[in-house]
Structure 1
């Protein structure tokens, strides 16, 4: 199934989620963040932060809070059993903190295929903002494998 290039430029509905301090601490510990600024409020303030800073890749976890996250692929008729995570990039514009309510909106940047259509790629940019201020752009690539393609 070829992904229609007309999907380029489409956007998913925006959603908001709160960066909770306890969840940030758990993530920092689970990912081996040893800097106290990620787990100790006083250490964060002593380092010049207004609260616990959000560790760089935590925004990807927050993106998973989207209540409609499977709707995009389903709308394209893609069986999630045929997808792979093809890559992730982060571009940071400003620091986000515990207590921030962040808005996420995803836009399709590109679609293309390789191996004669056996693999199709969807490149999406998720724009993260706080009260209209750009926080980060998360670029994710989804690989869709054609189950009918020769192995």
Structure 2
């Protein structure tokens, strides 16, 4: 009896892999902001790939805002502000339903991690007295959450 794969595998191209490696080197500070990347030929030798693979990887990173390609001058690492602007542009173009879905996924993961890491000591420290507005460590009890009309409420305390 034949059965298909339960989880589809994603095939990565050499250009994808090279782009990931270059991006990791940029993040690790091996290529600094404003620094010129090695030439295509040097990158080919460094990574053992062909010219088209290097060009495709550079194009991918340029499209993502990590690199600036200047004709005749070379390829340079973009400033972090360029990364922020790119994220801001993508968020402006995003569908609000997709953003809400991502937010719900992240919130669930955050709560799961916080719950797994919670110690009995931390649980005692975070309890609030009903008669005293301040807990023993000086923290105030949580206020009712504010409601943002652009997003649906995710908590009973979020009321329009």
| TM-score > 0.5 by shorter chain | no
Higher strand share: 1
TM-score bucket (shorter structure):
under 0.3
Using the size of structure 1 for normalisation, the TM-score is: 0.25
Structure with greater proportional helix content: 2
Higher relative contact order (CA 8 A, sep 6+): 1
Larger radius of gyration: 2
